[in-house]
Structure formats: structure tokens, C-alpha cells
Amino acid sequence: MPDFGYTINKQRLIDLDKNDRQAIIRVRQLEPSIDICIGCGTCTATCSANVFTQLNLRQLMLLVNRGETAKLKQEVEKCMLCGKCTLACPRGVNTRHVLLAINRALTETEQNS
Ligand code: SF4
Ligand code: SF4
């Protein structure tokens, strides 16, 4: 790594080359609109399941993008598929379908491992 004159805290280091990014590749195939997300968090702020759970769709999509998929399946399963986040998204991301695609990609990864 080049010397930039500062170092990154190891706990904050995300090595995308070492992470398994198969899930996001599959999610992009199933629901390409995930790529136009700007991470605004409107989906999370309006999520119906948030009343009962800690479901955070913005974080979930970020983690899938990074290939940090451990324990994500149980997060996805908190979604009630009501579709409110899809109506609220200012970018027109089909968030409900993104969640279904993530669930499917994670299930396929489990079955292939
Ligand atoms: S509301 Fe849409 S653009 Fe904003 S974080 Fe959620 S999916 Fe991304
Ligand atoms: S579809 Fe899922 S993530 Fe979206 S608002 Fe409803 S419960 Fe929340």
C-alpha cells in the first residue's frame, strides 16, 4: 500500500478483495436498481418493521455491497415486505425486490457452500 502519511485503523479496514462479493453480483443480476441507491436512509427511516425490530435497510445494502454477509440472512428475515420503503425511495430503487434478491442470493450462497 502507498504511504499516504497516515494509516487506517485496522478495525475500520475493509478489504474488498478478500471479502466474498458473490452475493452482490447476484443481487445486481436480480435487481439492478440497487446500483442507483445514494444511501440517503429514507428507506430505513420509513421502515414499518423498525417499530418492532432493528432492521436497517440502508446498512443492509451497504454490507451486501462490501461482501460482509455474515448474519445478514436473519436481518433480511425481519422485513415484512410491505413495500413502504419502495414508495419512499427518492431514487426509485425497488427496495422490496432488493430485499427479496438479497434473501435469494444468500440462500443460494448457503446451498452452494
Ligand atoms: S431510500 Fe433509496 S436511495 Fe435512499 S438509502 Fe434507501 S434505497 Fe438508497
Ligand atoms: S418492505 Fe421491509 S424494509 Fe421496506 S418498509 Fe416494509 S418492512 Fe421495511
In the predicted structure, residue 1 carries a pLDDT above the cut 80: no
The residue with greater pLDDT, 40 or 112, is 40
Q: How far is the CA of 55 from the centre of ligand 1 (A)?
A: 14
The string of pLDDT tens digits covering residues 7-52 is 878 888 888 888 888 999 999 999 999 999 999 999 999 999 988 9
Whole-prediction pTM value? 0.88
- Give dist(CA 45, CA 23) in Å, integer: 25
Specify the ligand 2 atom closest to the Cα of 80. 7
The conformation of residue 90, written as its DSSP 8-state character, comes to T
- Which three three-digit cell numbers place residue 53? 425490530
Residues 6+ apart with CB under 8 A from 17: none
* Closest residue CA from atom 4 of ligand 2: 85
Which pLDDT value is given to residue 9? 84
- Which three three-digit cell numbers place residue 15? 478489504
Specify the ligand 1 atom closest to the Cα of 85. 1
